[in-house]
Amino acid sequence: MPKPAFDDLDALNDWLRLRCEELANRPHPEQSDRTIAELFEDERAELRPLGRAFDGYVEKTVRVRSTCLVQYASNRYSVPSRFAGQHVSLRAYAGRIVLVSGQDVIAEHKRRFTRNVSYFEPWHYVPLLDRKPGALRDGAPFVDWQLPEAMHRIREHYMAGKGGDREFVDLLLLAQDHGIEVVETACELAVEQNTLRLPTIINLINQLVEPVITPLSDAYTYPQLTLRPEADCKRYETLCSAEEAAA
């Protein structure tokens, strides 16, 4: 029987799931009037609960290159540009690569089993575009960058004009302060309104991040004075006397 081959672990797991379901629907070898799955359901209540999942990985310390890449096995994986030149922990799982600095996860990639290939997360390199916006056009991390539909449309609109790369970089940099989700939502609103100018998108971002002020209801009870102030004209006369003396 030929040995099955799969492109990746996901494909293998899909095949295993289908194979298990097929076997579970077969008649039980000792109680042929019932399936294996039916008897398993009877036994499930007596089984011990599963313990905490085992966090299985191989860890090593690696140095981030000036290109914001770390090496593992035969491939390279990107990390945020601010970690260039630093040492970080690399955790190699069966299907993913996780980069950690201190207690923080700074990057995560699908583990690859190719040879001599660099795998980029374009957002890791966006801060560098502030100094070299032209790299957005042909820089390796940005080639075939799959942006959300609204952001892709705005990028195409900007890049068609002079200085458009600078404008789009300024838009991307806003994600550092407000988050990618906020910028993406603002771009979607801009496309819906057919207003793709950068100042308009910045205004939409500000509207999204500003706190919502709830107006007071009509039934709001304002504080009531318990002791009304008494009118005292002598105070006015005192002020007038002071002004005359100063003159």
Kindly write down the DSSP assignment for every residue of 133-197, as one continuous string. Answer: TTHHHH-GGGTT----HHHHHHHHHHHTSTTHHHHHHHHHHHHHHH-HHHHHHHHHHHHHHT---
- 3-state SS, residue 53: coil
- 3-state SS, residue 82: helix
Task: Please give the Cα distance from 16 to 11 (Å, whole number).
Answer: 9
Residues 113 and 127 in one domain: no
Q: How far is CA 185 from CA 15, 33, 149, 192, 213, in A?
A: 38, 57, 11, 11, 21
- 3-state SS, residue 20: helix
Q: How far is CA 24 from CA 19, 21, 50, 186, in A?
A: 9, 5, 20, 49
Closest to 65 (Cα-Cα) out of 110, 125, 115: 125
Residues 112 and 146 in one domain: no
Domain contains 221: no
Supply the pLDDT for residue 210.
81
Supply the pLDDT for residue 226.
72
Residues 129 and 152 in one domain: yes
In this structure, the chain runs to a length of 247
Residues of the chain with pLDDT under 50: none
Supply the pLDDT for residue 214.
63
Domain contains 226: no
DSSP state of 123: G
Domain contains 49: no
Domain contains 242: no
13 lies in which domain range? 9-44
Domain contains 85: yes
Domain contains 223: no
Supply the pLDDT for residue 110.
94
Residues 15 and 65 in one domain: no
Q: Which phi-psi region, left, alpha or beta, contains residue 190 (left: φ > 0; alpha: ψ -120 to 50)? A: alpha
Supply the pLDDT for residue 208.
92
Residues 77 and 112 in one domain: yes
Number of domains in the chain: 3
What are the beta bridge partners of residue 60?
90
Closest to 102 (Cα-Cα) out of 83, 120, 125, 128: 83
Residues 201 and 137 in one domain: yes
Residues 68 and 104 in one domain: yes
Domain contains 194: yes
What are the beta bridge partners of residue 119?
77
Q: Which phi-psi region, left, alpha or beta, contains residue 163 (left: φ > 0; alpha: ψ -120 to 50)? A: left
Is this prediction's pTM over 0.95? Answer: no
Around Cβ 156, how many Cβ atoms within 10 Å? 13
Supply the pLDDT for residue 19.
93
Residues 38 and 87 in one domain: no
Give the pairing of strands 75-78 and 118-119: parallel
The answer to whether the CB of 111 falls within 8 A of the CB of 96 is: yes
Residues 132 and 201 in one domain: yes
Domain contains 247: no
- Of 119, 146, 164, the position where a domain reaches its end is 119
